[in-house]
């Protein structure tokens, strides 16, 4: 073929008659499939697939003193620190105060980091039960966190949340309405809460509420990937209240995060698998259904979704928590407030967009990172600790084993993905 091109080039250069030149070109085009050749050369190489994940249990680190806390939702901020929310604990340094929730700054790397509780400007949610933070995000150097409110003073299903923000990396915090957060920390008047008693769904005579606890899609440092591709939206996930294995999604433009009327809700896919959106929360759809073993409680399937720049995918880790022994007076097992009689499940998924379509990489019904005594839950991915090739990330989780006395602190391990 190379000799043929040389011959053609020689003949064309030697031609003076443009008509003959045109006829020769037409002949060449008719004889050879240039369309296929050009399409193959101009088309981007096929997107690689993530085919498996390895949990490197020999890399496990547990950081913090006795009963440090749990949850550990995270965001990677503009100051290059990770900010996380600690729930129901005394903090990394075993302080004298037990908090329902408090922000924590993580400075460093997986092998050595400094954790600092940011208590000065944050509402003082001492341990009285009822206020838990499950979502945090950094956008344009502003931190936002969502604090969910339970039905009673103890730990049980949520009825809504507040949205706080900080413009100085956690030194001071404000409610979505601009008032100092400390002033309104316990106030649940309608204008001082955010999502509140949304679209009640009844199961076992109990009302569950949409978007009462949320997690944010982590789109790179300080939302940089969204800015890079020109996506003006922030994305929020929440389990369907009465069927937790079904995942809901909302979005809002980044300059309107504080205004609930600006939110839109995923309503379904069209035949080309493009997402449709609605302003009516009652018309929301489901972006994904996780394995339904029929014993998942409401405290399940709250995802951690992180953009992985080098792999070119959003990576999700998620889990199901099984309902356990009866505790409290709520009817039915689904709303039971104790879900740590057994360890959680674990699964990983990947997608090109925050809404999917999601492809399963791995799923196991029982997650035992250390021993068969583990009672793991609240699985997270670090949005910052991603190695250069993108194939190495870090998994963080909480553990309730031995009645919250052994690994009720920050636990993490290295995980690696195989790509083909």
In tens, the pLDDT along 141-165 reads: 999 999 999 877 667 889 999 999 9
Q: Of all residues in the chain, what percent carry a pLDDT higher than 90? A: 66
**pLDDT at residue 338, rounded to an integer:** 73
Cα separation, 70 vs 352, in Å, equals 30
In tens, the pLDDT along 66-79 reads: 788 899 999 999 99
**pLDDT at residue 129, rounded to an integer:** 65
- Fold annotation for 61-388+396-409: Tachylectin-2; Chain A (2.115.10)
Q: 366 pLDDT exceeds 90? A: yes
How many CA atoms lie within 13 Å of 418's alpha carbon, on the beta-carbon side?
7
Torsion of CA 90, 96, 102, 108, to 10 degrees: -70
Q: What does pLDDT average to over the chain?
A: 87
Nearest to 211 by CA among 233, 195, 226: 195
Q: 102 pLDDT exceeds 80? A: yes
In tens, the pLDDT along 9-50 reads: 434 344 445 455 445 544 544 444 433 333 333 334 557 899
**pLDDT at residue 141, rounded to an integer:** 98
In tens, the pLDDT along 243-263 reads: 999 999 999 999 999 999 999
Nearest to 294 by CA among 255, 243, 337: 243
**pLDDT at residue 370, rounded to an integer:** 93
DSSP states of 83-128 = EEEEEEE-TTTT-S--EEEEEEEEEEETTEEEEEE--SSS---BSS
Produce one character per residue of 128-159: b if its CB has 16 or more CB atoms within 10 Å, e if not: eebbbbbbbbbbeebbbbbbbbbbeeebbbbb
**pLDDT at residue 96, rounded to an integer:** 82
Q: 268 pLDDT exceeds 70? A: yes
């Amino acid at each position: 073929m190379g000799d043929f091109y040389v011959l053609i080039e020689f003949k064309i250069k030697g031609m003076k008659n443009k008509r003959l030149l045109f006829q020769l070109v037409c002949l060449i085009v008719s004889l050879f499939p240039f369309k296929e050749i050009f399409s193959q050369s101009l088309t981007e190489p096929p997107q690689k697939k993530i085919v498996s994940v390895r949990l490197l249990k020999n890399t496990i680190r547990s950081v913090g003193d006795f009963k440090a806390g749990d949850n550990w939702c995270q965001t990677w901020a503009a100051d290059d620190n990770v900010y996380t929310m600690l729930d129901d604990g005394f903090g990394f340094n075993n302080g004298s105060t037990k908090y329902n929730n408090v922000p924590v700054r993580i400075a460093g790397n997986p092998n050595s980091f400094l954790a600092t509780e940011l208590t000065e400007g944050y509402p003082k949610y001492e341990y009285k039960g009822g206020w838990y933070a499950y979502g945090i995000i950094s956008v344009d150097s502003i931190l936002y966190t969502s604090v969910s409110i339970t039905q009673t003073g103890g730990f049980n299903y949520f009825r809504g949340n507040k949205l706080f923000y900080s413009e100085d990396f956690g030194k001071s915090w404000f409610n979505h309405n601009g008032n100092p957060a400390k002033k309104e920390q316990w106030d649940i008047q309608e204008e001082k809460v955010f999502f509140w008693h949304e679209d009640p769904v009844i199961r076992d005579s109990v009302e569950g509420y949409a978007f009462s606890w949320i997690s944010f899609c982590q789109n790179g440092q300080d939302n940089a990937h969204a800015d890079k591709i020109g996506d003006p939206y922030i994305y929020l996930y929440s389990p369907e209240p009465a069927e937790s294995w079904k995942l809901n999604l909302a979005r809002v433009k980044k300059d309107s995060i504080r205004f609930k009327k600006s939110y839109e809700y995923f309503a379904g896919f069209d035949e080309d698998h493009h997402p449709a959106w609605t302003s009516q929360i009652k018309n929301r759809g489901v972006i994904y259904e996780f394995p339904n073993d029929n014993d998942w409680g409401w405290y399940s399937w709250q995802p951690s979704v992180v953009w992985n720049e080098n792999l070119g995918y959003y990576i999700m880790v998620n889990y199901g928590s099984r309902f356990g022994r009866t505790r409290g007076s709520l009817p039915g097992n689904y709303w039971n407030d104790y879900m740590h009689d057994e360890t959680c499940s674990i699964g990983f998924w990947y997608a090109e967009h925050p809404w999917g379509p999601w492809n399963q990489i791995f799923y196991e019904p029982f997650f035992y990172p250390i021993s068969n005594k583990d009672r793991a839950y609240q699985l997270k991915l670090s949005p910052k600790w991603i190695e250069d090739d993108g194939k190495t990330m870090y998994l963080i989780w909480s553990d309730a084993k031995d009645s919250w006395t052994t690994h009720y602190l920050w636990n993490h391990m290295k995980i690696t993905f195989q790509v083909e």
